[in-house]
Amino acid sequence: MGRIRLNGRIERTSADFAHIASLVAKDVDDDDEFTGSMTRALNQVSVSLPGFTDKLNFNLVFTDLKIADSTHSRVLSGTWNRPFGKTHVSATAYGDLVDDTIGGYLNVSFRLGEHRLLASSSLEVESDGVSVVQILTHPARDEVGETVWSLQFRESDNPQMRASGSTKISVAKFTDTYRQSADVAWATAKVSESVVAAAGGIFFGNRITDAFAIVDAGAPGVKVTRENRTVSRTGANGKALVEGLRSYENNRIGIDTSNLPLDVNVEKTKITVVPADRSGVMARFTAPEEGGAVPWSPSSTQRASPCPWGPPVRLDSRRSSSAMTAMPTFPVSASTTLPI
Protein backbone atom coordinates (compact mmCIF):
# COMPACT_ATOMS: atom_id res chain seq x y z
CA MET A 1 0.00 0.00 0.00
CA GLY A 2 1.09 3.60 0.11
CA ARG A 3 0.21 7.04 1.33
CA ILE A 4 -2.55 9.31 0.09
CA ARG A 5 -1.13 12.43 -1.56
CA LEU A 6 -3.08 15.67 -1.74
CA ASN A 7 -2.08 18.60 -3.97
CA GLY A 8 -3.78 21.92 -4.64
CA ARG A 9 -3.26 24.87 -6.94
CA ILE A 10 -4.83 28.34 -7.14
CA GLU A 11 -4.15 30.82 -9.96
CA ARG A 12 -5.52 34.28 -10.65
CA THR A 13 -4.91 36.66 -13.59
CA SER A 14 -5.58 40.38 -13.65
CA ALA A 15 -8.26 41.54 -16.08
CA ASP A 16 -5.89 43.55 -18.32
CA PHE A 17 -3.27 40.81 -18.77
CA ALA A 18 -2.91 38.69 -21.92
CA HIS A 19 0.06 36.61 -23.03
CA ILE A 20 1.34 36.51 -26.62
CA ALA A 21 -0.24 33.15 -27.45
CA SER A 22 -3.73 34.41 -26.67
CA LEU A 23 -3.13 37.56 -28.72
CA VAL A 24 -2.10 35.77 -31.91
CA ALA A 25 -4.66 32.97 -31.52
CA LYS A 26 -7.67 35.29 -31.79
CA ASP A 27 -8.56 37.05 -35.03
CA VAL A 28 -10.16 40.40 -34.19
CA ASP A 29 -10.81 43.59 -36.12
CA ASP A 30 -8.88 46.74 -35.32
CA ASP A 31 -11.99 48.31 -33.80
CA ASP A 32 -12.83 45.33 -31.61
CA GLU A 33 -11.82 45.33 -27.98
CA PHE A 34 -9.66 42.31 -27.30
CA THR A 35 -10.70 40.07 -24.42
CA GLY A 36 -8.75 36.93 -25.30
CA SER A 37 -9.10 33.42 -23.99
CA MET A 38 -6.85 33.87 -20.98
CA THR A 39 -7.41 31.83 -17.84
CA ARG A 40 -8.72 34.24 -15.23
CA ALA A 41 -9.24 31.84 -12.32
CA LEU A 42 -8.08 28.29 -11.69
CA ASN A 43 -8.78 26.16 -8.63
CA GLN A 44 -7.50 22.60 -8.71
CA VAL A 45 -7.28 19.75 -6.23
CA SER A 46 -5.71 16.35 -6.95
CA VAL A 47 -5.64 13.19 -4.86
CA SER A 48 -3.35 10.22 -5.46
CA LEU A 49 -4.67 7.01 -3.95
CA PRO A 50 -2.52 3.96 -3.19
CA GLY A 51 -3.21 0.76 -5.11
CA PHE A 52 -3.02 -2.84 -4.08
CA THR A 53 0.52 -3.04 -5.54
CA ASP A 54 3.35 -0.55 -5.97
CA LYS A 55 2.78 -0.46 -9.75
CA LEU A 56 -0.91 0.42 -9.55
CA ASN A 57 -1.86 4.11 -9.44
CA PHE A 58 -5.16 5.96 -8.99
CA ASN A 59 -5.54 9.74 -9.37
CA LEU A 60 -8.57 11.97 -8.88
CA VAL A 61 -8.54 15.61 -10.04
CA PHE A 62 -11.15 18.37 -9.65
CA THR A 63 -10.65 21.54 -11.71
CA ASP A 64 -12.68 24.75 -11.49
CA LEU A 65 -11.73 26.91 -14.49
CA LYS A 66 -12.91 30.36 -15.59
CA ILE A 67 -11.88 31.92 -18.93
CA ALA A 68 -11.98 35.60 -19.88
CA ASP A 69 -14.67 35.01 -22.50
CA SER A 70 -17.09 33.92 -19.72
CA THR A 71 -16.42 30.20 -20.22
CA HIS A 72 -16.80 28.30 -16.96
CA SER A 73 -16.16 24.61 -16.42
CA ARG A 74 -15.92 22.29 -13.44
CA VAL A 75 -14.29 19.02 -14.44
CA LEU A 76 -13.91 15.91 -12.31
CA SER A 77 -11.53 13.30 -13.74
CA GLY A 78 -10.03 10.03 -12.63
CA THR A 79 -7.01 8.13 -13.99
CA TRP A 80 -5.83 4.56 -13.50
CA ASN A 81 -2.62 3.10 -14.92
CA ARG A 82 -0.54 -0.02 -14.47
CA PRO A 83 2.34 -1.75 -16.33
CA PHE A 84 2.18 -5.44 -17.24
CA GLY A 85 5.69 -6.41 -18.31
CA LYS A 86 6.33 -4.60 -21.61
CA THR A 87 2.68 -3.53 -21.79
CA HIS A 88 1.25 -0.42 -20.15
CA VAL A 89 -2.49 0.07 -19.62
CA SER A 90 -4.15 3.34 -18.62
CA ALA A 91 -7.73 4.53 -18.37
CA THR A 92 -9.20 8.00 -17.85
CA ALA A 93 -12.77 9.15 -17.27
CA TYR A 94 -13.99 12.73 -16.94
CA GLY A 95 -17.15 14.73 -16.55
CA ASP A 96 -17.96 18.43 -16.75
CA LEU A 97 -20.40 19.36 -13.99
CA VAL A 98 -21.42 22.59 -15.78
CA ASP A 99 -22.50 21.36 -19.23
CA ASP A 100 -23.02 17.70 -18.23
CA THR A 101 -20.56 16.29 -20.77
CA ILE A 102 -18.70 13.06 -20.07
CA GLY A 103 -15.92 11.12 -21.78
CA GLY A 104 -13.19 8.61 -21.32
CA TYR A 105 -10.03 7.10 -22.75
CA LEU A 106 -8.58 3.61 -22.65
CA ASN A 107 -5.01 3.15 -23.88
CA VAL A 108 -2.80 0.07 -24.28
CA SER A 109 0.83 0.53 -25.35
CA PHE A 110 3.57 -2.07 -25.76
CA ARG A 111 6.91 -2.73 -27.45
CA LEU A 112 7.21 -5.16 -30.33
CA GLY A 113 9.82 -7.87 -29.78
CA GLU A 114 13.43 -6.84 -29.42
CA HIS A 115 12.98 -3.90 -31.78
CA ARG A 116 12.50 -0.30 -30.72
CA LEU A 117 9.03 -0.24 -32.24
CA LEU A 118 6.35 1.13 -29.92
CA ALA A 119 2.69 0.38 -30.65
CA SER A 120 -0.39 1.77 -28.94
CA SER A 121 -4.15 1.44 -29.32
CA SER A 122 -6.64 3.86 -27.81
CA LEU A 123 -10.41 3.96 -27.44
CA GLU A 124 -11.76 7.50 -27.04
CA VAL A 125 -15.36 8.14 -26.00
CA GLU A 126 -16.52 11.75 -26.18
CA SER A 127 -19.78 13.63 -26.53
CA ASP A 128 -19.41 13.81 -30.33
CA GLY A 129 -18.74 10.11 -30.85
CA VAL A 130 -16.34 7.21 -30.46
CA SER A 131 -12.84 7.04 -31.98
CA VAL A 132 -10.24 4.29 -32.23
CA VAL A 133 -6.62 5.42 -32.65
CA GLN A 134 -3.79 3.10 -33.73
CA ILE A 135 -0.19 4.35 -33.53
CA LEU A 136 3.06 2.65 -34.55
CA THR A 137 6.29 4.54 -33.77
CA HIS A 138 9.98 3.95 -34.27
CA PRO A 139 11.60 6.30 -31.73
CA ALA A 140 15.27 7.23 -31.81
CA ARG A 141 17.72 9.74 -30.42
CA ASP A 142 18.24 13.02 -32.27
CA GLU A 143 21.67 12.00 -33.51
CA VAL A 144 23.41 11.51 -36.85
CA GLY A 145 22.40 8.26 -38.51
CA GLU A 146 19.15 7.91 -36.55
CA THR A 147 15.78 7.67 -38.29
CA VAL A 148 12.44 8.35 -36.60
CA TRP A 149 9.07 7.50 -38.12
CA SER A 150 5.47 7.25 -36.98
CA LEU A 151 2.16 6.00 -38.43
CA GLN A 152 -1.21 7.03 -36.99
CA PHE A 153 -4.71 5.93 -37.97
CA ARG A 154 -7.91 7.32 -36.49
CA GLU A 155 -11.22 5.57 -37.12
CA SER A 156 -14.22 7.82 -36.43
CA ASP A 157 -16.94 9.75 -38.24
CA ASN A 158 -14.06 11.70 -39.79
CA PRO A 159 -11.27 9.12 -40.39
CA GLN A 160 -7.72 10.46 -40.52
CA MET A 161 -4.28 9.14 -41.35
CA ARG A 162 -0.87 10.64 -40.62
CA ALA A 163 2.63 9.45 -41.51
CA SER A 164 5.82 11.28 -40.56
CA GLY A 165 9.51 10.59 -40.58
CA SER A 166 12.84 12.29 -40.13
CA THR A 167 16.44 11.31 -40.66
CA LYS A 168 19.62 13.07 -39.65
CA ILE A 169 22.87 12.93 -41.60
CA SER A 170 26.12 14.74 -40.91
CA VAL A 171 25.19 17.87 -42.91
CA ALA A 172 21.40 18.20 -42.63
CA LYS A 173 18.16 16.93 -41.17
CA PHE A 174 15.24 15.90 -43.41
CA THR A 175 11.63 15.78 -42.20
CA ASP A 176 8.58 14.61 -44.16
CA THR A 177 4.90 14.50 -43.17
CA TYR A 178 1.84 13.17 -44.99
CA ARG A 179 -1.71 13.78 -43.73
CA GLN A 180 -5.06 12.64 -45.03
CA SER A 181 -8.52 13.55 -43.76
CA ALA A 182 -11.71 12.60 -45.60
CA ASP A 183 -11.14 13.73 -49.21
CA VAL A 184 -8.25 16.12 -48.42
CA ALA A 185 -4.56 15.14 -48.36
CA TRP A 186 -1.36 17.13 -48.15
CA ALA A 187 2.37 16.54 -47.69
CA THR A 188 5.15 18.60 -46.11
CA ALA A 189 8.90 18.34 -46.67
CA LYS A 190 11.53 20.21 -44.68
CA VAL A 191 15.33 20.34 -44.66
CA SER A 192 17.43 22.23 -42.10
CA GLU A 193 21.20 22.72 -41.88
CA SER A 194 23.84 25.32 -41.07
CA VAL A 195 26.87 26.77 -42.87
CA VAL A 196 29.91 27.86 -40.84
CA ALA A 197 32.83 29.88 -42.23
CA ALA A 198 35.82 29.42 -39.92
CA ALA A 199 39.41 28.21 -39.59
CA GLY A 200 40.14 28.88 -43.24
CA GLY A 201 37.28 26.78 -44.55
CA ILE A 202 33.53 26.42 -44.97
CA PHE A 203 31.72 23.68 -43.05
CA PHE A 204 28.23 22.27 -43.49
CA GLY A 205 26.36 20.72 -40.59
CA ASN A 206 23.06 20.38 -38.80
CA ARG A 207 21.24 23.39 -37.41
CA ILE A 208 23.23 25.06 -34.60
CA THR A 209 21.11 26.28 -31.71
CA ASP A 210 23.75 26.69 -28.99
CA ALA A 211 27.52 26.28 -29.40
CA PHE A 212 29.91 24.41 -31.68
CA ALA A 213 33.57 23.58 -32.27
CA ILE A 214 35.94 23.20 -35.21
CA VAL A 215 38.15 20.15 -34.68
CA ASP A 216 41.62 19.99 -36.26
CA ALA A 217 42.90 16.39 -36.24
CA GLY A 218 45.65 16.99 -38.80
CA ALA A 219 44.47 14.30 -41.25
CA PRO A 220 41.36 13.48 -43.30
CA GLY A 221 38.96 10.65 -42.46
CA VAL A 222 39.48 10.78 -38.68
CA LYS A 223 36.45 9.95 -36.53
CA VAL A 224 35.44 12.71 -34.10
CA THR A 225 33.49 12.01 -30.91
CA ARG A 226 31.43 14.14 -28.57
CA GLU A 227 30.86 12.68 -25.09
CA ASN A 228 32.23 9.34 -26.39
CA ARG A 229 29.77 9.23 -29.32
CA THR A 230 30.95 9.43 -32.93
CA VAL A 231 29.42 12.59 -34.41
CA SER A 232 31.59 13.50 -37.39
CA ARG A 233 34.61 12.67 -39.55
CA THR A 234 37.31 15.09 -40.68
CA GLY A 235 37.29 16.27 -44.28
CA ALA A 236 40.09 16.66 -46.79
CA ASN A 237 41.57 19.55 -44.77
CA GLY A 238 41.73 17.44 -41.61
CA LYS A 239 39.04 19.49 -39.89
CA ALA A 240 35.44 18.82 -38.87
CA LEU A 241 32.46 20.75 -37.52
CA VAL A 242 30.99 19.52 -34.23
CA GLU A 243 27.64 21.07 -33.31
CA GLY A 244 25.39 20.46 -30.33
CA LEU A 245 27.79 21.69 -27.65
CA ARG A 246 26.42 23.10 -24.37
CA SER A 247 27.47 26.68 -23.71
CA TYR A 248 29.27 27.47 -20.44
CA GLU A 249 29.56 23.76 -19.65
CA ASN A 250 32.28 21.14 -20.04
CA ASN A 251 32.07 19.40 -23.44
CA ARG A 252 34.42 16.49 -24.07
CA ILE A 253 35.60 16.10 -27.65
CA GLY A 254 37.84 13.28 -28.85
CA ILE A 255 39.37 11.73 -31.97
CA ASP A 256 40.04 8.15 -33.05
CA THR A 257 43.78 7.80 -33.74
CA SER A 258 43.59 4.29 -35.22
CA ASN A 259 43.72 5.60 -38.79
CA LEU A 260 46.04 8.57 -38.32
CA PRO A 261 49.08 8.74 -40.65
CA LEU A 262 52.46 8.08 -39.00
CA ASP A 263 53.70 11.60 -39.75
CA VAL A 264 50.85 13.23 -37.78
CA ASN A 265 51.72 13.92 -34.16
CA VAL A 266 48.85 14.52 -31.73
CA GLU A 267 49.27 15.77 -28.18
CA LYS A 268 45.99 14.34 -26.82
CA THR A 269 43.06 12.25 -27.95
CA LYS A 270 40.48 14.09 -25.81
CA ILE A 271 39.89 17.77 -25.15
CA THR A 272 37.44 19.51 -22.81
CA VAL A 273 36.08 22.80 -24.13
CA VAL A 274 33.75 25.40 -22.58
CA PRO A 275 32.30 27.60 -25.34
CA ALA A 276 30.29 30.75 -24.78
CA ASP A 277 26.62 31.06 -25.73
CA ARG A 278 25.98 30.97 -29.51
CA SER A 279 29.70 30.82 -30.31
CA GLY A 280 32.39 28.29 -31.10
CA VAL A 281 35.89 27.20 -30.18
CA MET A 282 38.85 25.69 -32.02
CA ALA A 283 39.80 22.24 -30.74
CA ARG A 284 43.30 21.49 -32.06
CA PHE A 285 44.69 18.00 -31.46
CA THR A 286 47.86 18.24 -33.55
CA ALA A 287 51.12 19.22 -31.85
CA PRO A 288 52.51 22.61 -32.95
CA GLU A 289 55.35 22.54 -35.44
CA GLU A 290 58.79 23.67 -34.36
CA GLY A 291 58.82 27.43 -34.15
CA GLY A 292 55.04 27.58 -34.49
CA ALA A 293 52.60 29.24 -32.13
CA VAL A 294 51.22 27.28 -29.18
CA PRO A 295 47.39 27.15 -29.07
CA TRP A 296 45.81 29.23 -26.33
CA SER A 297 44.96 27.15 -23.26
CA PRO A 298 42.94 28.86 -20.49
CA SER A 299 43.44 25.92 -18.12
CA SER A 300 44.88 22.43 -17.97
CA THR A 301 41.51 20.92 -18.97
CA GLN A 302 40.68 23.34 -21.78
CA ARG A 303 43.04 22.73 -24.70
CA ALA A 304 41.04 24.86 -27.10
CA SER A 305 41.33 28.29 -28.63
CA PRO A 306 38.94 30.74 -30.25
CA CYS A 307 39.00 30.21 -34.00
CA PRO A 308 40.57 33.12 -35.95
CA TRP A 309 38.37 34.87 -38.48
CA GLY A 310 39.13 38.21 -40.07
CA PRO A 311 40.21 41.37 -38.24
CA PRO A 312 39.38 42.19 -34.62
CA VAL A 313 35.79 43.31 -34.01
CA ARG A 314 33.98 45.45 -31.48
CA LEU A 315 31.12 43.88 -29.53
CA ASP A 316 29.06 45.82 -26.93
CA SER A 317 31.53 48.73 -27.09
CA ARG A 318 34.39 46.42 -26.04
CA ARG A 319 37.32 45.48 -28.27
CA SER A 320 37.40 41.74 -28.85
CA SER A 321 39.93 39.40 -30.41
CA SER A 322 39.14 37.44 -33.55
CA ALA A 323 36.86 34.72 -32.20
CA MET A 324 34.14 32.49 -33.52
CA THR A 325 31.46 34.81 -32.16
CA ALA A 326 32.45 37.24 -34.95
CA MET A 327 32.40 34.78 -37.83
CA PRO A 328 29.42 33.97 -40.05
CA THR A 329 27.16 31.11 -39.03
CA PHE A 330 24.25 30.64 -41.38
CA PRO A 331 21.28 28.49 -40.32
CA VAL A 332 19.46 27.20 -43.38
CA SER A 333 15.91 25.87 -43.26
CA ALA A 334 13.46 25.30 -46.08
CA SER A 335 10.05 23.67 -46.15
CA THR A 336 7.13 23.27 -48.54
CA THR A 337 3.56 22.02 -48.22
CA LEU A 338 1.74 20.58 -51.23
CA PRO A 339 -1.94 19.61 -51.50
CA ILE A 340 -2.45 16.16 -53.01
Q: In terms of pLDDT, which residue wins out, 335 or 33? A: 335
H helix intervals, the chain: 20-25
Q: Is residue 242 part of a domain?
A: yes
Question: Please, which pLDDT band fits residue 192 given cuts at 50, 70 and 90?
Answer: confident
Enclosing domain of residue 268: 207-328
- Contacts of residue 13, defined as CB under 8 A and 6 or more positions apart, other chains included, come to 38, 39, 40, 41
Question: Please, which pLDDT band fits residue 322 given cuts at 50, 70 and 90?
Answer: very low
- 239-266 pLDDT, tens digit per residue, is 988 888 899 999 999 998 887 888 888 8
Coil, strand or helix: which one is 48? strand
Q: Is residue 317 part of a domain?
A: yes
Question: Please, which pLDDT band fits residue 85 given cuts at 50, 70 and 90?
Answer: confident
Question: Please, which pLDDT band fits residue 5 given cuts at 50, 70 and 90?
Answer: confident
Average pLDDT over residues 201-228: 87
Q: Is residue 183 part of a domain?
A: no
Kind and range of the H or E run holding 172: none
**What does the pLDDT read at residue 91?**
94
Angstrom CA distances, 236 to 167, 219, 241, 263, stand at: 25, 7, 13, 16
As a whole-number percent, the residues of the chain with pLDDT over 90 amount to 25
- Count of domains in the chain? 2
Q: Is residue 192 part of a domain?
A: no
Q: What is the mean pLDDT of the chain?
A: 78
Average pLDDT over residues 85-97: 91
**What does the pLDDT read at residue 316?**
35
**What does the pLDDT read at residue 15?**
66
Q: Is residue 57 part of a domain?
A: yes
At residue 3, does pLDDT exceed 90? Answer: no
**Last residue of some domain: 23, 49, 70?**
70
Report the CATH number that the domain containing residue 248 is assigned in CATH: 2.60.40.2610
Task: Write out the DSSP string of 93-133.
Answer: EEEETTTTEEEEEEEEEEE-TTSS-EEEEEEEEETTEEEEE
- 120-174 pLDDT, tens digit per residue, is 999 999 887 899 999 999 988 777 778 899 999 999 888 899 999 999 887 888 9
Contact 35, 22 (CB under 8 A): no
Angle at 53 between CA 52 and CA 54, to 5 degrees: 135
As a whole-number percent, the residues of the chain with pLDDT over 70 amount to 74
**Last residue of some domain: 49, 70, 91?**
70
Q: Is residue 2 part of a domain?
A: yes
- 264-277 pLDDT, tens digit per residue, is 888 788 989 998 88
Q: Is residue 272 part of a domain?
A: yes
Question: Please, which pLDDT band fits residue 37 given cuts at 50, 70 and 90?
Answer: low
Q: Is residue 303 part of a domain?
A: yes
**What does the pLDDT read at residue 18?**
65
Tell me the C-alpha distance between 281 and 292, whole Å: 20
Average pLDDT over residues 318-338: 47
